[in-house]
Amino acid sequence: MGNLTATRPPQPWTAPTASDPVAATLRLPGSKSMTARALVLSALAAGPSTLAGPLRARDTELMASGLRAMGAHVSISDDERWLVRPHPLAGPAHVDVGLAGTVMRFVPPVAGLADGQVTFDGDPHARTRPLGPLVGALRSLGVRIDVTGAGSLPLTVFGTGRVTGGEVVIDASASSQLVSGLLLAAPRFDRGVVVRHVGPPVPSAPHLRMTVQMLRAAGAAVDDTTPDVWTVEPGPLTGRGWDIEPDLSGAVPFFAAALVTGGEVTLQGWPHSSAQPVEQLRSLLQRMGGEVTLSTSGLTVRGTGVVHGLTADLSDVSELTPALTALAMLADSPSVFTGIGHIRGHETDRLTALAHEFTALGADVTEAPDGLEIRPRPLRGGVFRTYQDHRMAHSAAVAGLAVPGIEVDDVGCTSKTMPEFPALWSAMVTGKS
């Protein structure tokens, strides 16, 4: 099992089993990805910004704390509206990244712009997450970084208040966040940045498109017309109001519930023009037997109670893998998911974890270097370990809709991106709020 570690709290959470089709209208927390990017851009802007409908969860609170430690004024006392006032960034400061890829990859470039020393560390598994390419890129752009651990964390950035910038080559095949981290801070670099990716394809391309869209919305000049090359010109960023969309990745387990139970789930507050990969999700859910519609009421998914297997490259939407894997376990035909080898470097090795935990429940699943092959068969109840990974808990909850007795060892790990998940999920399945 490699670096997978697990502890079992005294009280596992029994995933509720659905006795009827679910029928729910939900308003979910804001997008983690948008909240993180808006916080960074706001801290680097020339004037104040507000975030409407942000995600309050461990990852985003760590991001706010990290920026605040370097001097930015970040007020998150109002759940619905956060305020960011930029201030000259300075050390000494310490940034706790937790297990948040966004914090460990977005904040070090910002720390290069601080005047003083900024240290970074996080949860034990954070030290195994891919960060080396970003460290190398920042060094080539003129940032002094000391790496003291066996991996890339812990590390120390010795900021001088400015970053020279320029052209850099990076292998970002492990995570699109390695590119996004450089781009978000680049307008404040003396020469901006030209990032050239060399290597296997960059995963999660929609997240890179989100980064570019939000940079432009803040006034940055960005050229992404050449494949695998991103150019950001130096210049001021504008403080502004950010309207944070509901989190699509967090919504997927709830949409999956509609397919499993033959029910209907509507996510309120969904914009007609989204920075998130709605069309990819729509296609995947339709191929698995769902009907997806967008109206003034929100984004609605309907199921028939029959789930179909599918063969799909999930490289652009790898965050959906755990929930889709649970759906595939309950399908009427086999599934093959590819293009997701990079999620071995997420909160845990998700491919090994999913294969191991579902096999323990009786599944027939084969782990491949870059994906999973799933042949549906009856599952049984049992303890499902999360390895402190929120998406693993989501996967167990989806399977539990049809399989009685699945006990999640640590549902509290969902606080990483959605502290309300256990309560929202139980209310949806039981029909009681």
- State the binding site for phosphoenolpyruvate: 32, 101, 129, 177, 350, 391, 416
Cα(155)–Cα(141) distance, rounded to whole angstroms? 17
Sheet of 155-160, strand order: 93-96, 115-121, 155-160, 144-147
- Residue 350 in contact with residue 422, Cβ under 8 Å? no
- Residue 165 in contact with residue 195, Cβ under 8 Å? no
The torsion angle over the Cα atoms of residues 399, 402, 407 and 410, rounded to 10 degrees, is: 40
Structure tokens at 154: 């812990």
SS3 category, 55? coil
Angle between helices 390-400 and 421-430 (to 10 degrees): 10
Structure tokens at 122: 């996080």
Cα(432)–Cα(428) distance, rounded to whole angstroms? 7
Q: Which pairs count as long-range contacts for 212-219, CB under 8 Å and 24+ apart, including other chains?
A: 212/183, 213/275, 214/34, 214/37, 214/38, 214/41, 214/242, 214/275, 215/41, 215/183, 215/184, 215/187, 218/41, 218/45, 218/187, 219/187
Q: Does 319 participate in catalysis according to the annotation?
A: yes
Structure tokens at 229: 């090359």
SS3 category, 265? strand
Cα(341)–Cα(206) distance, rounded to whole angstroms? 17
- Residue 282 in contact with residue 270, Cβ under 8 Å? no
**Annotated binding site: which residue ranges?**
32-33, 37, 101, 129, 175-177, 204, 319, 346, 350, 391, 416
Q: Which of 245, 319, 347, 357 is catalytic?
A: 319
Cα(177)–Cα(49) distance, rounded to whole angstroms? 23
Catalytic residues: 319
